[in-house]
Amino acid sequence: MISSDAVLGPDHVPGGPAIRLGGVVKRYGDVAAVNGLDLDVPAGICMGLLGPNGAGKSTTMRMLTAQSRADAGEISVLGFPVPAMSKQARALMGVVPQHDNLDEELTARQNLEVFARLYRVPRRERAAAVDRALELAQLTDRQRSRTVDLSGGMRRRLLIARGLVHAPRAVLLDEPTVGLDPQVRQQLWTLITALRDDGVTVLMSTHYIEEAERLSDEVALMSRGRVIARGRPADLVADHAGVRTEEFYGPPRRLAEVERIAADLGFTTRRTGPSVSVLRAEKITPQARERLGQGEARASHLEDVFVLLTGETVE
């Protein structure tokens, strides 16, 4: 690990973050897609970027490859300042875009061969790198099929393998499982976890709570172009929503009453359609219980934190 740090950029500090964004702003006309974003991604972890559609996740990813240029702020990837030394950073980075841009006319193998060259995999290692990527994507027996003939799940696996063909140090995954069925999603989760276990830094955006919770060592909650909270998923939940949440159902009058009493008792609540959720329900004392009544208890999760902090829902 120490010797291979030599390939990292001039801004790299040993043990420092793999990806760093400070005060980053990106405007499109009047829209601030990213609006003062600060985020450090420690080397070797999987960081989940969780936020609803339009939060600025894809824009952030594109700025990390210099395909989008920030209006303000500082960015570095693997120690290389971006965009100044972005090309060096891109050589060490794998990118899996939100929208599939595979070459449909080419075979699975050819898609990988082209990217092995673009990523400068040396000639003598190229065939082995492509074989390994095919194995990763479980497409070894479909390598001669044209991409247009592959299923949605296969294409997604190929897209991910394409970003890994050069054994990158960091990988950007932009909503890697969106629109896939649960079985394929499960396969990809295994793949992403294995990557992280191998020491690759993973930055993965998602608007699926479960995905962020299951895969990420840390999550950054993103809303309106900013990171509003970050930490280990369990810590975030414990800090903001406690252990348990209780859902109270009933007619509107009853819900209003629950909200009033909970506020009176010092509890945080949120409305979710037909129910009122009372956070930190483990703190409800027997006396409080008499006034509040009994709700349906469940474990608190990241969605509770997200709604609490932003007033928005994620999914």
Ligand X SMILES: Nc1ncnc2c1ncn2[C@@H]1O[C@H](COP(=O)(O)OP(=O)(O)O)[C@@H](O)[C@H]1O
Instruction: Tell the smallest beta-carbon distance from residue 315 to another protein (Å).
Output: 25
Q: How does strand 218-223 pair with strand 72-77?
A: unpaired
Stretch that binds another protein, among 17-25, 95-103, 204-212, 290-298 (CB under 8 A): 95-103
Stretch that binds another protein, among 1-9, 11-19, 45-53, 299-307 (CB under 8 A): 1-9
Among 127, 194, 263, 299, binds another protein (CB under 8 A): 194
Residue 134 or 307: the one with the smaller Cβ distance to ligand X is: 307
Residue 108 or 212: the one with the smaller Cβ distance to another protein is: 108
67 lies in the binding site for another protein (CB under 8 A)? yes
> Of ligand X, another protein, Mg ion, none, which one does residue 56 interact with (CB within 5 to 8 Å by kind)?
ligand X
Instruction: Tell the smallest beta-carbon distance from residue 122 to Mg ion (Å).
Output: 34
Contact residues: Mg ion, CB under 5 A: 57-58, 98
3 lies in the binding site for another protein (CB under 8 A)? no
> Of another protein, ligand X, Mg ion, none, which one does residue 31 interact with (CB within 5 to 8 Å by kind)?
ligand X
Dihedral class, residue 39 (left if φ above 0, else alpha if ψ from -120 to 50, else beta): beta
* β partners of residue 48: 204, 219
90 lies in the binding site for another protein (CB under 8 A)? yes
Residue 182 burial (CB count, 10 A): 8
Contact residues: ligand X, CB under 6 A: 28, 31, 33, 51, 53-59
Residue 305 burial (CB count, 10 A): 26
Instruction: Tell the smallest beta-carbon distance from residue 51 to another protein (Å).
Output: 20
Stretch that binds another protein, among 60-68, 214-222, 224-232, 234-242 (CB under 8 A): 60-68
Site for another protein in 127-166 (CB under 8 A): 132, 135-136, 138, 164, 166
> Of Mg ion, another protein, ligand X, none, which one does residue 199 interact with (CB within 5 to 8 Å by kind)?
another protein
Among 197, 239, 312, 315, binds another protein (CB under 8 A): 197
Instruction: Tell the smallest beta-carbon distance from residue 152 to another protein (Å).
Output: 17
Task: Give the DSSP letter string of the chain.
Answer: -TGGGGGS-TT--TT-EEEEEEEEEEEETTEEEEEEEEEEEETT-EEEEE--TTSSHHHHHHHHTTSS--SEEEEEETTEEETTTHHHHHHTEEEE-SS----TTSBHHHHHHHHHHHTT--HHHHHHHHHHHHHHTT-GGGTTSBGGGS-HHHHHHHHHHHTTTT--SEEEEESTTTT--HHHHHHHHHHHHHHHHTT-EEEEEES-HHHHHHH-SEEEEEETTEEEEEE-HHHHHHHHH-SEEEEEES-HHHHHHHHHHHHHHT--EEEETTEEEESSGGG--HHHHHHH---EEEE--HHHHHHHHHS----
What residues line the site for another protein (CB under 8 A)? 1, 4, 7, 28, 62, 65-69, 87-88, 90-92, 95, 97, 99, 101-106, 110, 113-115, 117-122, 132, 135-136, 138, 164, 166-169, 187, 190-191, 194-195, 197-200
